């Protein structure tokens, strides 16, 4: 895929390099809350009903239309429930479209390894901060989980991943040395708008930083506002940002010569299941945001879409740049509430 504003492989801190990233994961679908009546949803949660594509197919069409290559962090531990084949077909699709594929891990899926998992969750109901994080696991267990994820990539016929994104952006400093020993040299697991790490060196709004031999390329956070117009640290996501907020964020980053931005999204932000018939309803507001994002990235000479690995290999001269958060005008950030309200009325 060609990029209209491609200036070659060399990195420059005068250009704002923007990595569009997606976490590709199946839907656990409330199974832990109601294990006898609900089950996880596989490929349908990413692609929608046959004959009525939504979610991932829409994402890939928009990327192809604009010639943007994205990074897809593919969750590998769901194989505990689904086996390898179902996600393997998704990986094959992403690979055929020429996108970058890296590793994503949600340890909560490993609960399904237990033959008596229903009884187990009855005794100990899963909590994200305990059961869906690598933080509190032993060095040996984290290593085992990473190797399990990498083995899935091999089974899918993919190169071993070099980059990892942790589930729900739970991340602390001690994990980097384990990543490095496991052959992972890049992480995109810090997101201050979601989780504040204890180590001050990890409090990164958008600047990549080398930590214990691993390059952390954080999901960008910025200073926006809450519903009372108070300043708030927010994560850069498609579903969380408004149209004007997103446009202003990119333009301000370019004006301030911010070297690197990373935006996070999920296929679930592009559709939602209908409660009546199980089909999926497209989220046209998210689609508009994504169309606007890709258009802005390819039409602005000061913005350049890149992958996570391209940041790691070409932008080493930008790693030590000052990490100053982008502070958006209050009105630009607040307008997202009005946009969402208007969209809900139109969708009703």
Model pLDDT, residue 13: 59
Give the residues across from 72 on adjacent strands: 22, 101
Instruction: Examine the pLDDT at 135 and tell me if it is beyond 70.
Output: yes
Q: What is the DSSP letter of 326?
A: P
Total-model pTM: 0.94
Q: CA 279, CA 302: separation in Å to the nearest integer?
A: 41
Q: CA 187, CA 211: separation in Å to the nearest integer?
A: 10
Over residues 88-134, the pLDDT tens digits come to: 999 999 999 999 999 999 999 999 999 999 999 999 999 999 999 99
Percentage of the chain modeled with pLDDT above 90:
86
Q: CA 214, CA 337: separation in Å to the nearest integer?
A: 37
Query: Among 256, 220, 266, which Cα is nearest to 18's?
Result: 220
Instruction: Examine the pLDDT at 303 and tell me if it is beyond 80.
Output: yes
Model pLDDT, residue 347: 64
What integer is the mean pLDDT of 249-271? Answer: 96
Q: CA 262, CA 17: separation in Å to the nearest integer?
A: 8
Over residues 184-193, the pLDDT tens digits come to: 999 999 999 9
Over residues 46-60, the pLDDT tens digits come to: 999 888 889 999 999
Instruction: Examine the pLDDT at 312 and tell me if it is beyond 70.
Output: yes
Instruction: Examine the pLDDT at 345 and tell me if it is beyond 70.
Output: no
Phi, psi angles (nearest 5°) of residue 324: -100, 120
Question: pLDDT-derived band of residue 9, with 50, 70 and 90 as boundaries?
Answer: very low
Q: CA 111, CA 99: separation in Å to the nearest integer?
A: 30
Instruction: Examine the pLDDT at 11 and tell me if it is beyond 70.
Output: no
Q: CA 4, CA 295: separation in Å to the nearest integer?
A: 10
Residue 130 to residues 127, 137, 203, 226, 254: CA-CA distances in angstroms?
Answer: 5, 9, 22, 28, 39
Do residues 184 and 164 make contact, with C-beta atoms less than 8 angstroms apart?
yes
Instruction: Examine the pLDDT at 229 and tell me if it is beyond 90.
Output: yes
Model pLDDT, residue 339: 87
Q: CA 259, CA 249: separation in Å to the nearest integer?
A: 13
Model pLDDT, residue 3: 42
Model pLDDT, residue 10: 44
* Tokens at 228, concatenated: 């009372």
Model pLDDT, residue 2: 39
Q: CA 209, CA 201: separation in Å to the nearest integer?
A: 9
Q: CA 287, CA 54: separation in Å to the nearest integer?
A: 10
* Domains, the chain, ordered by start: 16-347 (3.20.20.370)
| Mean pLDDT, all residues of the chain | 93
Over residues 19-75, the pLDDT tens digits come to: 999 999 999 999 999 999 999 999 999 999 888 889 999 999 999 999 999 999 999
Beta strands in 110-240 (DSSP E): 163-166, 186-187, 209-211, 214-216, 221-225, 231-235
The terminus-to-terminus CA distance of the chain in angstroms comes to: 37
């Amino acid at each position: 895929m060609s990029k209209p504003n491609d200036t070659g492989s060399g990195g420059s801190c005068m250009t704002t390099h923007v990595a569009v990233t997606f976490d590709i994961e199946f839907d656990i679908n409330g199974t832990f809350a109601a294990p006898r009546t609900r089950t996880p949803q596989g490929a349908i949660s990413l692609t929608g009903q046959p004959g009525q594509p939504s979610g991932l197919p829409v994402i890939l069409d928009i990327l192809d239309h604009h010639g943007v290559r994205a990074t897809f962090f593919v969750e590998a531990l769901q194989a505990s429930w689904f086996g390898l084949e179902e996600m393997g077909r998704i990986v094959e699709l992403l690979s055929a479209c020429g996108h970058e594929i890296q590793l994503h891990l949600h340890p909560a899926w490993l609960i399904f390894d237990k033959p008596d998992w229903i009884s187990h969750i009855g005794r100990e109901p899963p909590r994200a901060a305990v059961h869906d994080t690598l933080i509190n696991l032993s060095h040996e267990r984290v290593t085992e989980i990473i190797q399990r994820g990498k083995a899935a990539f091999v089974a899918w016929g993919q190169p071993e991943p070099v980059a990892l994104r942790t589930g729900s952006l739970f991340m602390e400093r001690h994990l980097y040395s384990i990543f490095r020993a496991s052959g992972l040299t890049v992480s995109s697991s810090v997101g201050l708008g979601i989780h504040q790490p204890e180590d001050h060196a990890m409090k990164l709004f958008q600047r990549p930083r080398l930590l214990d031999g691993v390059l952390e390329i954080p999901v960008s956070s910025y200073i926006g506002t809450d519903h009372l117009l108070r300043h708030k640290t927010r994560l850069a996501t498609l579903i969380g940002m408004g149209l004007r907020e997103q446009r202003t964020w990119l333009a301000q980053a370019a004006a301030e010569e911010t070297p690197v931005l990373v935006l996070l999204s999920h296929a679930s932000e592009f559709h939602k299941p209908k409660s009546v018939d199980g089909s999926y309803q497209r989220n046209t507001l998210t689609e508009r945001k994504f169309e606007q994002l890709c258009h802005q990235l390819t039409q602005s000479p000061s913005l350049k879409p890149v992958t996570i690995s391209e940041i790691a290999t070409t932008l080493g001269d930008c790693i030590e740049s000052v990490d100053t958060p982008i502070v958006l005008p209050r009105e630009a950030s607040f307008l997202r509430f009005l946009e969402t309200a208007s969209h809900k009325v139109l969708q009703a």
